[in-house]
Structure 1
Amino acid sequence: MKFFESTYEFDYTWEEVSTGNWRKYCPWNKQTTHVIAVDTLQRNVDPATGILRTERLITCQQSAPKWLMAFLGGEDRSYVYETSYVDPAAKKVTMCSQNMTYADLLSVRETVVYRPSSGAPNARTEFHQHAKIIAFCGGWQKVKNSIEEFTVDRFRQNAIKGREGFEAVLEMSRKVFAQERERQALMQAARM
């Protein structure tokens, strides 16, 4: 069993980050071209807490070597099941994901949390990512360790790319927020 952790602070408000999060896999995000579909399976708001719970299926184009795909008998697509919780009262987004493809060989459970920064709660958002990776290889400890280490390294590389792509999405979202505020100010001024 191996773990991966990453923390980062985005120079955007929690409102910008929690809204931009839904656009993370948009077509113009050059860092997520491997994501070919995001299907919302279920979405509801708890009337007592106001928490938005969403279940999604994320379909990705595999980038594993062809020889490995042939060995495993797999196809070039992989699937990830994600459940997210947006708590507007606590200003917290929690996203939990689990691989569905090759789940009998490798378990990857990831949790991501976005919340206002403790140092600048009205200007920055803290990001925390945690992944637990377990390879199932029976008694082959050396193979198991190699698979888990490879997966952690891949996670590390993808975390950097993901952060870069999300920064671009957030910048676009910031522009949209600014345009909307300007439009509302103009409408309010016109009413006076």
Structure 2
Amino acid sequence: MKLFQTEHSFNYPWDQVTAANWQKYPNELSTHVISVDILDRTINNQGILRTERLIGCKQSIPRWLSFLVGGATVSYVREISEVDLKNQTLVMKSMNLTMNNLLLVKETIIYKPDPELNLQSTLFKQSAEITAFASVSRICDKVEEWSVERFSQNARTGKLAFENVLNRLNDKWEDAGVVKDSLLLNEVKKLQF
């Protein structure tokens, strides 16, 4: 098993970042994401919005890995997110559904106000456990190393892409004169259950 971890601070308040999360795809940098489908959405009695999504991804993979996975080019990821307005946290957990008997990737992302920056920034923490399953440990190591590198590349691209989405939405919100404190509540009200 290999681990991946990163932290970043977005220079936007938590409510803006959380509202923008629902409009992250499609974007010009994360072209590997080809579909996002909402499977379930509920609000529990503590006011936590729970959303389950199915995300389709298409990425090229090395020929040696294509041989192991049978040439599949589209993979699916199940993501469960929980937005807690009271505690100002957004936690997203995802796991690949495609070929998880060969390679299992469990990712956790947490967005919360950055206390060191007067709550005007949002702290982003991302971690992933990447485990390959094969009878030969050298193959496992090679698959895990390649997967961590690809995950790292996608994480860097994803961070830039999300910054672009935040910039675009911030401009739109400012042009419309939207009160920033009500952004997330407005986005939650728009969601269909």
Equivalent pair of 1:41/1:57 in contact (CA under 8 Å): yes
The 4+ residue runs of structure 1 with deviation greater than 6 A are none
Contact 2:14 2:111 (C-alpha < 8 Å) held by counterparts? yes
Partner amino acid, structure 1, of 2:10: F
Task: Give the Å deviation of 1:154.
Answer: 1.0
Structure 1's unaligned 5+ residue stretches are 184-192
The whole-number CA distance in structure 2 between the counterparts of 1:53 and 1:121 is 27
**2:38 aligned residue:** 40
1:133 aligns with 2:92: no
The 2-side partners of 1:141 and 1:68 are apart by: 15
The amino acid of 1:151's aligned partner reads: S
2:144 is matched by which residue type in structure 1?
E
For 1:177 and 1:129, the matched residues in 2 are separated by 27
Residue 19 of structure 2 aligns with which residue? 19
Match of 1:142 among 138, 146, 157: 138
How far apart are 1:102 and its partner, in Å?
A: 1.2
Aligned residues: 179
User: What's 1:88 paired with?
Assistant: 85
2:113/2:119 contact within 8 Å kept: yes
List alignment gaps of at least 5 residues for structure 2.
180-193
8 Å contact from structure 1 (residues 17, 170) kept in 2: yes
What residue is the counterpart of 1:8 in the other structure? 8
- For residues 18-167 of structure 1, what are the structure 2 equivalents within 5 Å? 18-26=18-26, 29-46=27-44, 48-66=45-63, 68-138=65-135, 140-167=136-163
Q: Structure 1 residues 67 and 144 mapped into 2: Cα distance closer, same or farther (>3 Å)?
A: closer
CA 1:9 to 1:155, structure 2 compared with 1: closer, same or farther past 3 Å?
same
- Given residue 171 of structure 1, which amino acid in structure 2 is its aligned partner? N
- Report the TM-score, using the length of structure 2 for normalisation: 0.87
